[in-house]
A and B are shown apart, each in its own frame.
Chain A
Amino acid sequence: MKKVEKADAEKYFKLRTIMIFSFILIALLVSFGVVTFAEFFSQFTFMGAPLHYYMGSQGAIVVFIVLLFLNAIISDRLDAKFGVDNATNERIVGGQSMDQ
């Protein structure tokens, strides 16, 4: 066991928090945001359909999927940057006694 610098540990948590907050904010804007101003967005057209309809039936879902993959990829990079190795994580989990 090695001690992680306090500043590093706090930075890790802060970066993750910022990322998750921004992703949730984007997700809320494309879903609840667009619905709240549906009348306004209905004057635009995207891929043949009125924009508010497009966002509800396709746009928001595509954004959700992209955000989830970004979260997985960025989190992996962040872990690597802070010296976390997934193989070690798996070994640690494999030895957990609470699974018995």
Chain B
Amino acid sequence: MDTQTLVSVGMILVTFVIYVGIAIYTRSKETAEFYVASRGIPPFWNGMAIGADWMSAASFIGMAGTVMVMGYDGLPYIMGWTGGYLFLTFLLAPQLRKYGRFTVPEFIGDRFNSDVARVIGALATVIISFTYLVGQLSGSGVVIGRLFAIPTWAGVLLGVGIIAIYATLGGMKGVTWTQVAQYLILITAYVVPIVFMSLQVTGNPLPWLTYGNIVDEIGAIDREIGLTEYFAPFSESTQSQFLALMFTLMIGTSALPHVIVRFYTVTTMKAARWSGAWALLFIGILYLSAPAYAAFSRFILMTQVAGQPMGNLPSWVDRWVDTGLLSVADTDGDGILDWEEIAVAEDMVVMATPEIADLGMFVIGLVAAGSMAAALSTAGGLLITISSSIAHDFYYRILRPDASDKKRLNAGRIAIFIATIVAGLLALDPPGVITQIVAWAFAIAGGTFFPVLFLGVWWKRMTTQGAIAGMLVGLATTLSYIFLALGGFTIFGIEDTGAGVFGVTINFLTCIIVSLSTTTPSQEKQDEVVDLRYPEQMTYKDGEVWIKEEDYKS
């Protein structure tokens, strides 16, 4: 091992010790702690935990590269993955919090008074979270594998082991405080290199203010060598695909069970609103920086690598060519490396920035630890969600309603452990391209859950049959479109990753049509829905709103 590898391994090990330490210190002793952290997480810290939960290895390593390669057409990821928090915080989170359950399937089952709806919800939750988890684990395996020059499978196993230990021990409480630590590590690791790069390229340490000019200069260079400008709209995809993808990512974000469950960990509707605001601020720091990474990297590649004689390339070029993520070939044999002769893999951009900006081995180690934090924190949140669907919704609510607190806690731990191992085994040989699978998870989440949750919270006329039909038809439509689009059949040029448009629309229609043609729900159920419009202190009953005041007067 060379010094760099030792420093990187050391920094990652230090962060692992921190995570496991936090998990042991905040060990869960009862069910409410294990699933919803006793609902006592303050909104500011919950915002950070949501941020870490949300930002996966794909956001940390891949997104900047996607924007660099696709230009303007990579931006649906930036707008879609942030905009979803508006729909979630405005339309779902506070109301779901007031309803007061442990999981999304539990809300669906209790709101519609149906174990069939509960089972469909639990199954869809497991499918969505599992798909996402496999992507995270194979992502972390790739990171470890590349950094330490060990096989990817060994990297996957290492990541799986760490997650299994701290998620099993700490439950939601442990995972939440671990995620706070992981957020701080990953955001520092993301922002430090780009600040130095901005300082080197533009002389100003605030990349968010300066990269606009660089974008403009890249466009000018593109014009000069006769390419489509970097910022030209819809050159890499069509406008309808751009809009459909952005819609799918936004609606999917607001309906992902592992994100929604984080809003169950706070005390009140007010705390849910503030959690959403803090979360998007913390997430925004990374999403606002990603296009800056894209612009600076492309600018450096265009000005310092392209146009140079083959023998006079910067020294970091060789090291990245060795990893297979960068290829430079003087195909026209004129001794000069042209821009068209450079091929960059998307995953290289963030990982290579500290070397390109020559920031030294500690920053390189920090970026390695940050990307591990991004993968592990998302995997931890997903595992809790899978475990609660199995141990709470299936085992406790359907199979053994009389199980003791201790038994339920053990069931939760066993479910996490098994889910980790199964996902780890699948991640050894992932069934497709990671970013594509993750996009499907968003389409399935939006297409199955969003209309049912939205109407379930706001529309008192919504019936059990409507919810069941909506989820089944929405899921079927989304999956069918994904398979049809993969087979070459598309509508308006929308690809498989934009399938949410069809799933969500048809799910909404099904919910409304079936609800209206089935019996009106009981008055009690309708009151329950109207009650969600008001804060905890107010109760809706028999057409009147009551406010509790007894504590208030004394």
Residues of A near any B CB (own CB < 8 A): 1-4, 6, 8-9, 12-13, 16, 20, 23-24, 27, 31-32, 35-36, 38-39, 42, 45-50, 52-54, 56-58, 60-62, 64-65, 67-69, 71-72, 75-76, 79, 83-94, 96, 98-100
Contacts and interface: CB of A to CB of B under 8 A. Distances in A.
Interface in B63-80: 67, 72, 75, 78-79
A56 to B, nearest CB: 4
7 contacts: A9-B540, A56-B78, A60-B83, A61-B82, A64-B86, A75-B270, A79-B270
Interface stretch (B175-183, B274-282, B365-373, B443-451): B274-282
A4 B549 CA distance: 11
Find the residue from B269, B540, B547, B548 having the highest chain A CB count within 10 A.
Answer: B547
A16 B533 contact: yes
B91 A20 contact: yes
A24 B270 contact: no
B276 A68 contact: yes
Contact of B268 (A1, A38, A58, A90): A90
Interface in B534-551: 534-540, 544-549, 551
Nearest to B91: A20
B234 interface: yes
Size category, B interface: 35 or more
B397 interface: no
Interface stretch (B239-247, B302-310, B515-523): B239-247
Main secondary structure of the interface of A (DSSP, over half): helix
B114 interface: no
Contacts of A3: 544-547
A71 to B, nearest CB: 6
A43 B26 CA distance: 55
A98 B90 contact: no
Contacts of A61: 78-79, 82, 284, 287-288
Contacts of B535: 79, 84, 89
Contacts of B78: 56-57, 61
Given A32-B247, A68-B276, 6 more contacts: A24-B86, A38-B234, A49-B216, A61-B82, A89-B270, A99-B36
Contacts, number: 190
B83 A64 contact: yes
A69 B234 contact: no
Nearest to A47: B212
A89 B268 CA distance: 7
B83 A88 contact: no
A91 B551 contact: yes
Contacts of B336: none
Contacts of A52: 72, 231, 233
B537 A92 contact: yes
A23 B284 contact: no
Find the residue from B267, B535, B539 having the highest chain A CB count within 10 A.
Answer: B535
B539 A1 contact: yes
Given A49-B215, A56-B72, A89-B268, A1 B547 contact: yes
